[in-house]
Amino acid sequence: MLEKNVILNGKTVLVTGAAGFIGSNLVRELFNSFDGIRIVGIDNMNDYYDVSIKQYRLEEISALGRDWTFVKGDIADKELVEKLFSEYGFDVVVNLAAQAGVRYSITNPDVYIQSNIIGFYNILEACRNHPVEHLVYASSSSVYGSNKKIPYSTDDKVDNPVSLYAATKKSNELLAHSYSKLYDIPSTGLRFFTVYGPAGRPDMAYFGFTDKLVKGETIKIFNYGNCKRDFTYIDDIVEGVKRVMQCAPEKKTGEDGLPVPPYRIYNIGNNSPENLLDFVSILSQELVAAGVLAPDFDFEAHKQLVPMQPGDVPVTYADTSALERDFGFKPSTPLREGLRRFAEWYYSFYIAK
């Protein structure tokens, strides 16, 4: 177990992508866990998916009545990033802003370079010019690409991305490592595995499936249902991020008199891949139980098995042993329980209104 060396009580924290799924949940958890914490959130509020969900998440944060500042802006705007760092003097930075989505990166590559590469570079430059206690940033399970060995370990080579999105996330890790080495910036990258839950991203399979089923449309299940995904519930992701934030890699000097990069990488996943067909079956049962779908809904008539899509991989499976060793924590929310909470939220947000 690592010793906590970053005290978050009374600190000023920057969370980028604060209106996003993980970002908004993290902000609320930090306010609920620490006294006197001041959080600045930034998000460009783009319309990649329904902006009303982002606004809903921000309203949930504002309702807490804590020391919260939201800035609508883009981390690709270097002047804005520099201004925020100068004004607030952040102690800890959590970079969750990114253009997400594997398939979208095939048709809209420009936004990935802007947000995921230039935006992250701006954050690194700001951390260089305004030293922070800890930079925590989102990577992704997609960096494992076409790796055949499972479960995926952070010790594995990750040189075979199968999408631009994956390549940008691998680039983030490389950039962070070089800045940690050159400027002694303590940084930790987190490879998230298929995050799901209430008020999640509508482009994710479970959300998109639900939207289609509600409309009576057919859902497409890729790779003829033979995909496996390490579905990780949002609360488990946030708990992992919160623990990591408090344990910055220690600064050390190497034999050459230069800094040893204070740099770490962890997987945060459920360590339990689920077959996509089983996943869809559980989802449909919970949607019926929550009143989203009618009790006699003919699920079999609304599904279609189709081939694998470009950029997809057949399985994701996280080796979380390093996370368990260093933080005594392992995601553990059962899939059915997580999908039940999503179905109940979906009913209240879309159906009951």
pLDDT in tens, 14-34: 999 999 999 999 999 999 999
Residue 215 CA from chain centroid, whole number: 28
Does a structural domain hold residue 137? yes
Confidence of residue 76 (pLDDT cuts 50, 70, 90): very high
Does a structural domain hold residue 339? no
Does a structural domain hold residue 281? no
pLDDT in tens, 191-215: 999 999 999 999 998 999 999 999 9
Of residues 227 and 92, more confidently modeled: 92
Q: Is 347 noted as a catalytic residue in this protein?
A: no
pLDDT in tens, 237-275: 999 999 999 999 999 988 888 889 999 999 999 988 999
Nearest Cα neighbor of 89 from 27, 12, 30, 34 is 12
Alpha-carbon dihedral angle through residues 110, 112, 118, 119, given to the nearest 10 degrees: 130
CA 113 vs CA 108, 119, 123, 174: distances in Å: 10, 8, 14, 15
CATH number of the domain within which 132 lies: 3.40.50.720
Q: How far apart (Å, rounded) are the C-alpha atoms in residues 166 and 311?
A: 9
Range of the domain at 236: 12-194+232-270+318-332
* Secondary structure (3-state) at 161: coil
What is the number of structural domains in the chain? Answer: 1
Residue 289 has pLDDT above 80, yes or no: yes
Q: What amino acid occupies position 4?
A: K
Does a structural domain hold residue 155? yes
Does a structural domain hold residue 284? no
Q: Match 């996509």 to its residue by tokens.
A: 276
Q: What is the reported pLDDT for 56?
A: 97
Q: What is the reported pLDDT for 352?
A: 87
Of residues 98 and 311, more confidently modeled: 98
Residue 312 has pLDDT above 80, yes or no: no
Q: What amino acid occupies position 247?
A: C
Q: What is the reported pLDDT for 311?
A: 65
Beta strand spans in 133-186 (E): 134-140
Does a structural domain hold residue 4? no
Name the active-site residue from 165, 179, 233, 317.
165
Does a structural domain hold residue 210? no
Residue 345 has pLDDT above 90, yes or no: yes
Q: What is the reported pLDDT for 147?
A: 85
Residue 234 has pLDDT above 70, yes or no: yes
Contact (Cβ atoms closer than 8 angstroms) between residue 271 and residue 319: yes
Q: How far apart (Å, rounded) are the C-alpha atoms in residues 277 and 270?
A: 18
Does a structural domain hold residue 18? yes
Residue 315 has pLDDT above 90, yes or no: no
